[in-house]
Each structure stands twice: as C-alpha cells, then as structure tokens.
Amino acid sequence: MRLGIDLGGTKISALALDVDGCVRARRRIETPRGDYAATLSAIRGLVQALEDDLLAPGAPRARVGVGIPGTISPATGLVKNANSTWLIGKPLDRDLAAALDRPVRLANDADCFALSEACDGAGAGHSPVFGVILGTGVGGGIVIDRRLVTGANAIAGEWGHNPLPQLDDAERPGPACYCGRAGCIETFLSGPGLAQDYARDGGDAAAVDEATDAALVARRARDGEPAARAALERYIDRLARALGSVINLLDPARIVLGGGVGNIQALYDALPVRLPAYVFSDQVATRVVPPEHGDDSGVRGAAWLWPADRGRP
C-alpha cells in the first residue's frame, strides 16, 4: 500500500492507494499553520490512522510520499520556496523519515499534481503537460513523457514567483509577496490574490479575509455584481498573460488547472479566446483543461512517488 500526503497551506490530505492505483481510504485535517512540530505530528497521526484501519497485524508498513508547498534544496537539504513559511529552512524529509520511522519521498505539490494528471488524468497521452496549482499559492509542474522534470535547482515549473508579464500602470509595482519581491504571479493569481483584488477595487471588503476562497468572487460575478465581474475579468487576462509566457517557453500540449481557483468554469470558457494575444504563434493548439481527479490529484501524485510493488500488499 502507498500513502500520499498533500501538505497544503490550509489542509493536510491523506490518501491510500492499493497496488492497482485504487483508492482505499482518505482523510483530511486542518493544517496547524505556523507550527512545524505540530505539522510533523499531524502527518504522523494521519499515517498511523490509515495504517491502523487498513493493514493487518504484521503486514508491511505503507510507503509514504508527501507533496509539499516548496521543495528541498539540493544545496542545503532544507525546505525552500514554501509559501507555508514555517517549513522554510527545515530538513522536512529527514524529520518526517524519523517521525514515521521509514524512508519518505517528498516532491513539490504542483509536481505531484502534474504527475497524477499526466499519467492517467486530463493530460494522459499528451506531452509535455504543465500542471498548475491556483490555490493558497501558485505553483507549476512539468511532466514530459510521464516523467517529472525537476531541474538542476529543483525548481522546474516554479512559475508563481516570476513577475506577472506585461504589467500595466495600474498594476505596478504589484502586491508584496512573502518571497520579498512585489508583483509575483502568485500575488495576482492565487485564491487570496483574486479575493484581495476584488476587495481593493470596489468589492465587498467586509466579506473578504486572508482565507477567502476565490469561489466567493466567482459566485458574485455569476450573479452579476459589477465589482466581482470586473475582478474576474482582470484575473482571466492576467492568467492568460502568465500562461502565454509558459506556452512560449515550454509549448505544452495540455495545461491542467488545479487548486480552488481551477474550479471556476469561466476560466475554461475565456482562455481559448484570450491566449492567442500572448502566444507567439499563428494558432494555439495547447488546451487548458480541468483536472480529471479533482482535489485528489495532488495527493494521488504524492502516493505515486513510490512505484507499485506487486510483491507487497
């Protein structure tokens, strides 16, 4: 059995896969934000609970893969580039291996999402696949011929901390980002980024806080609220600019949008019309699609960091 853990900014999801890739069980808890020791303990508790439920006494323990909002630096062995900032500078892979008393495989959460969707999801049979996370943060993963591209610095696909392309005067210098810069793609295209943009430009500020889901803005836009419609329109154009730069560089066959913002249907209706203005081609064959496995994609990809072994239960 393989367990996948998706360590998100607001929730930790766990999922058990059998040897055929079928889901045996799943659990979800809130992330203990800001508390590293509690995060380790929470993951240990999830693994223990699933094994207690699913494994017979004496059976081999599960293999555990973890998707994280960041990556392990090849230079230091410590977490870097995590919007869950309490993980930065920590030896998370080693600490989890010690907490779980077994080897643990870690990968960026967007890489896990991309791997899942490229193997048997919305990108299956296509290459390259660019998997996008549009949630609490913004990340990306690249899969070519069903293989993750990690890169020399372990940051392949990390588009969220590039500047938003073609800023207009009203957008400069852009919102401040936790990475120390301003105007990062993440500050505009994350779920909180969309909600905060709505609040800044005439929206119902009382309804918006840091944890507000972008679904609030999408729902109000569907209901015809002018401020919400304007915010969603700005968001779609910014997303088209950002994805246009990815297409110009990587030329993926499929772009799969995950995270809470990826559930907004208006994106899929509008992007085919918007992208050609930002892509250096006479046509745009790249399709932007929703994930086939929905919210399970990232945690499934984490489980698949371990190969199936038919010699194990």
Mention every residue, 6+ apart, whose C-beta is less than 8 A from residue 248. 278, 279, 280
Task: Give the alpha-carbon dihedral of 150, 153, 157, 163, to 10 degrees.
Answer: 180
Q: Compute the C-alpha angle 293/197/173, nearest 5°.
A: 110
> How far is 204 from 227, CA to CA, in rounded Å?
8
Mention every residue, 6+ apart, whose C-beta is less than 8 A from residue 143. 114, 115, 118, 119, 123, 127, 128, 129, 131, 149
Q: Give φ, ψ of 97 to 5 degrees.
A: -60, -40
Q: What is the tens place of the pLDDT at every residue in 237-267?
A: 999 999 999 999 999 999 999 988 999 999 9
Mind listing the domains of the chain with CATH numbers?
Answer: 2-112+296-303 (3.30.420.40), 124-291 (3.30.420.40)
Predicted pLDDT at 37? 97
Q: Residue 280 CB: number of other CB atoms within 10 A?
A: 9
pLDDT lower than 50: segments of the chain: 310-313
> How far is 140 from 209, CA to CA, in rounded Å?
25
> How far is 214 from 198, CA to CA, in rounded Å?
10
Q: What is the tens place of the pLDDT at every residue in 97-138?
A: 999 999 999 999 899 999 999 988 999 999 999 999 998 889
Q: Distance of CA 212 to CAs 42, 123, 267, 313, Å? A: 24, 29, 19, 41
Query: Using H for helix, E for strand and C for coil, what is the string for the chain?
Result: CEEEEEECCCEEEEEEECCCCCEEEEEEEECCCCCHHHHHHHHHHHHHHHHHHHCCCCCCCCEEEEEECCEECCCCCCEECCCCHHHCCCCHHHHHHHHHCCCEEEEEHHHHHHHHHHHHCCCCCCCCEEEEEECCCEEEEEEECCEEECCCCCCCCCHHHCECCCCCCCCCCCCECCCCCECEHHHHHCHHHHHHHHHHCCCCHHHCCCCCCCHHHHHHHHCCCHHHHHHHHHHHHHHHHHHHHHHHHHCCCEEEEECHHHHCHHHHHHHHHHHHHHCCCCCCCCEEECCCCHHHHHHHHHHCCCCCCCCCC
Predicted pLDDT at 311? 45
Q: Is the peptide bond before 276 cis (omega within 30 degrees of 0)?
A: no
CB 143, CB 156: distance < 8 Å: no
* Tokens coding 137: 């943060």
Predicted pLDDT at 282? 96
Predicted pLDDT at 295? 80
